[in-house]
Structure 1
């Protein structure tokens, strides 16, 4: 790991702010005085023991896909080198920190807009989940930001099952990912629906003690009837989520914004 005050490339490390399976993210700032005022960045650096072809490819994919997308609710990429990248610092923590339902619905609407923007440019995120939605702590505004495009891919025609392993997070994985089919825009919608359920009810739609049981739930179990357990949720909420969580991608909504707009309308105080 890098230490506080250490210089890395043209950045100075301020503090570690996140740790994943293969990399550490640091708050850092530019050290080039001739370039003007220092710029704060999030500096993601692969551990030396994890700089294998797969990890390097994922980091490169994260940078390249996000860099193509210029949207206020998608993290901005600045530059990259061998085993590292510098991106926009979004220091407000994950979306689960939001205290009210209204704020969480607003954040979901912003991420739905970002996903539709990416989909219109033939890019699927493939790892939508609460941990990948960060908050900008700017006072007086709510800005949610979609991060980590390391599993992103281009939309392509699905010609049948593939042999690629599933890398996405299981609680948010659409059935087509689990069966080896190519992801589409509807794949992100399914993950967004799982994320919405977690932000609204406290847990994702399917839970299990082990991976195989969770996979089986995504593939075969119908979504729960949350309105039977939570008095504040109307029955229409169940119906809206059932469509967004349909086992077949073709049966889901045409856009993420359409889905979240329906959820928001259903949960607005009457």
Structure 2
């Protein structure tokens, strides 16, 4: 862990603001650009080739994308990168359903933009959606397991790198991801933001895999009387087991939900 006031690669560290499975994110000051940044640094035990490559991948994909709801990256080095400081916290901290839906519509736009550039995020989940300080702008972060669709032709991923509660069936079965893969994860995220938990829960990873592959989505309107029945049918299509049975875009799905809950 870096300490407040400590210097790291020309940055002056202020405080730790987040920690994932393999890296810590700090608020830091970059004197070269005269701005505060989010500085993501690999933990000592994860300074191996796999995680260094993942961080480089995160930087390279994000740098290819210019969109108001995709995090801006600034600089990188071996085992670290700097990016836009998104100071409002995670989407789970957004208080109202209407504001959460507004944030998810912005993320849907960002994902459709990404897919139009033949990139799949592959790890859409609440932890990877931040909001700016005014709470009116959502930002998609962490392209560490993203895929360029062209790179995936003829290649079967060797392991699941996405988070299991949000992993589409095709990722679990080792097929190359498409835009529909992100749509499925966005649907899982939306359900969690609206109902309090993702569509499928299980006490084990194997149980979650089984649910994604074989269980139909719940009928939430039966448990939550304030949800209209159409919520179930709209969401079920976005959570279809076969990618080709889902909506043509992320925006179409979230717009239908927003209209249903208006």
TM class by shorter chain equals over 0.9
State how far apart, in whole Å, the 1-side matches of 2:232 and 2:149 are.
29
**5+ long unaligned stretches in structure 2:** none
Q: CA deviation at 1:49?
A: 2.3
Matching of residue 82 in structure 1 with residue 85 in structure 2 = no
Instruction: Identify the residue that residue 7 of structure 1 maps to in structure 2.
Output: 7
Instruction: Identify the residue that residue 229 of structure 2 maps to in structure 1.
Output: 235
Q: Secondary structure at the match of 2:234?
A: helix
Matching of residue 181 in structure 1 with residue 171 in structure 2 = no
Instruction: Identify the residue that residue 97 of structure 1 maps to in structure 2.
Output: 93
Q: Secondary structure at the match of 2:194?
A: helix
Query: Is the contact made by 1:63 and 1:149 (CA closer than 8 Å) also made in structure 2?
Result: yes
Instruction: Identify the residue that residue 120 of structure 1 maps to in structure 2.
Output: 116
User: Structure 1 segments of 4 or more deviating over 2 A?
Assistant: 156-163
Distance 1:157 1:244, change over 3 A: farther
Q: CA deviation at 1:20?
A: 1.5
Distance 1:77 1:48, change over 3 A: same
Q: Secondary structure at the match of 2:207?
A: helix
State how far apart, in whole Å, the 2-side matches of 1:75 and 1:249 are.
27
Instruction: Identify the residue that residue 192 of structure 1 maps to in structure 2.
Output: 186
Query: Is the contact made by 2:69 and 2:139 (CA closer than 8 Å) also made in structure 1?
Result: yes
State how far apart, in whole Å, the 2-side matches of 1:6 and 1:157 are.
40
Q: In the TM superposition, what whole-angstrom CA distance separates every residue of 1:220-239 from its partner, at most 9, and x where no partner exists?
A: 00000001110111111100
Query: Is the contact made by 1:161 and 1:179 (CA closer than 8 Å) also made in structure 2?
Result: no
Query: Is the contact made by 1:156 and 1:184 (CA closer than 8 Å) also made in structure 2?
Result: no
TM-score for the superposition, normalised by structure 1: 0.94
Q: CA deviation at 1:159?
A: 6.2
Q: CA deviation at 1:174?
A: 0.1
In the alignment of these two chains, the number of paired residues is 262
**5+ long unaligned stretches in structure 1:** none
Instruction: Identify the residue that residue 30 of structure 1 maps to in structure 2.
Output: 30
Q: In the TM superposition, what whole-angstrom CA distance separates every residue of 1:85-121 from its partner, at most 9, and x where no partner exists?
A: 0000002111011111110110010000000000000
State how far apart, in whole Å, the 1-side matches of 2:86 and 2:180 are.
27
State how far apart, in whole Å, the 2-side matches of 1:157 and 1:24 are.
29
Query: Is the contact made by 2:90 and 2:127 (CA closer than 8 Å) also made in structure 1?
Result: yes
Distance 1:103 1:165, change over 3 A: same
